[in-house]
Amino acid sequence: MDFANYDPDGASRGREIISAKIVVAGGFGVGKTTLVGAISEIQPLTTEALMTAAGVGIDDSSKVPGKETTTVAMDFGRITMAEDLILYLFGTPGQTRFWFMWDEIIRGAVGAAVLVDTRRITDAFAPLDYFENRKLPYVVALNRFDDAPHYELEEIREALAISPDVPLVMCDARHRESVKQVLVTVVEHAMLRLQAEHGYPASVG
Amino acid sequence: MEPRRDPRGALVRPYAVTRGRTEPLQNIALEAVLSSTATQSAEARFAGHDKYRISSVCEGRAQSLAEIAAYTRMPLGVTRVLVADMVAEGLLTLHSAAPATGFAARMNLLGRVLSGLREL
Ligand SMILES: Nc1nc2c(ncn2[C@@H]2O[C@H](COP(=O)(O)OP(=O)(O)OP(=O)(O)O)[C@@H](O)[C@H]2O)c(=O)[nH]1
Ligand SMILES: [Mg+2]
């Protein structure tokens, strides 16, 4: 039997379930997995993609026998918001040599939060460059580590040359309420951007 | 290619299960959600071990492609090939195949996500 188009009464379809995705980006060890774990309803999960060491392509290793393969891990969490709505949070692989994976991770996302460790501010240059050259709405979240020097938000905005229309917030990636606020900021910013693109005056309900 | 050591300890050759195929029938997004009914799951029993495992993960609970890969401990690329096959075979139902497009639909989705977050 050919099942390809076999759906006599649409019974298998049920109600449509929609998923949305927010990306948590940033350099190595800035707290991405911690942030996802602080709000996810499941322990952050990891999925692996195979690639050749040369990074010629994801999961393309079988075509180049003999080439060394390596796996890129990305972790993610889930928030089931309604029976028909699931939000996924995807962390990007932190190591810079895996940044080609980011294109796949951000595709179709609502927006992104770029996490910055205030002890290593210059590590944020490359992730910020990446998002400046993409269409995806993003916000910058400063993850305050206990031993980090204190900076004013505006000092950091200037140091990182963050455009005035990009929201900049302080957060603690370990705390659910703080993480929730970061994600709310991402979605509100995405709504404002979408409205602006369609010529609406800025306001989020 | 070297066999890959599976975290459970078994040796698996990731591409053996897709017979070396790396191109999925359709490029399912990481967050695209799939589900399987009891009937579909029963049919998947005859579709081979890996497809049956995928089907079991999705039975009664919608799971994203990324979750399926994580729970079955298969690499993402292999999972995507198998899942796309299963959608074509009617063994899995793919939800939200087309993400919200158009201003009103996108605003509506963002608004729902925003209130969902605020209610957490
Ligand atoms: N004090 C403090 N520690 C944190 C905070 N966020 C993360 N950490 C710690 O920093 C370390 C790195 O955090 P991860 O969440 O693993 O960072 P990551 O960005 O996922 O790291 P990679 O995936 O390896 O790039 C862990 O030991 C965390 O416990 C924070 O807000 N405050
Ligand atoms: Mg991590």
Residues 6+ apart with CB under 8 A from A157: A164, A168
Q: Please answer yes or no on whether A4 and B91 come within 8 Å at the CB atom.
A: no
Which is it for strands A69-82 and A85-91: parallel, antiparallel or unpaired?
Answer: antiparallel
User: Per-residue pLDDT tens for A3-33?
Assistant: 444 443 344 445 689 999 999 999 889 999 9
- B31 min Cα distance to partner chain A (Å): 7
Please give the backbone phi and psi of residue A200, each rounded to the nearest 5 degrees, phi first. -95, 150
Measured from the Cα of A172, ligand 1's closest atom is 31
pLDDT at A106: 93
Mutating to test ligand 1, I would choose from A33, A143, A178 the residue with most ligand atoms within 8 A of its C-beta, which is A33
The CATH number that domain A17-197 falls under is: 3.40.50.300
Q: Please answer yes or no on whether B113 and A20 come within 8 Å at the CB atom.
A: yes
- B47 min Cα distance to partner chain A (Å): 12
> What angle separates helix B65-72 from helix B76-88, to the nearest 10 degrees?
120
For A177, counting Cβ atoms within 10 Å of its Cβ (0-12 exposed, 13-18 middle, 19+ buried), the class is exposed
pLDDT at A199: 85
Locus of tokens 């066999």: B3
pTM: 0.86
Locus of tokens 């050919």: A2
Q: Which ligand is nearest to the CA of A75?
A: 2
Does the C-beta of A2 come closer than 6 Å to ligand 1? no
Residues A115-136: what's their mean pLDDT?
92
Q: Which residues pair with A69 in a beta bridge?
A: A52
User: Per-residue pLDDT tens for A158-194?
Assistant: 999 999 999 999 999 999 999 999 999 999 999 999 9
CA distance linking residue A20 with residue B37, whole number of Å = 23
Kindly tell me if the per-residue pLDDT of A126 is higher than 80.
Answer: yes
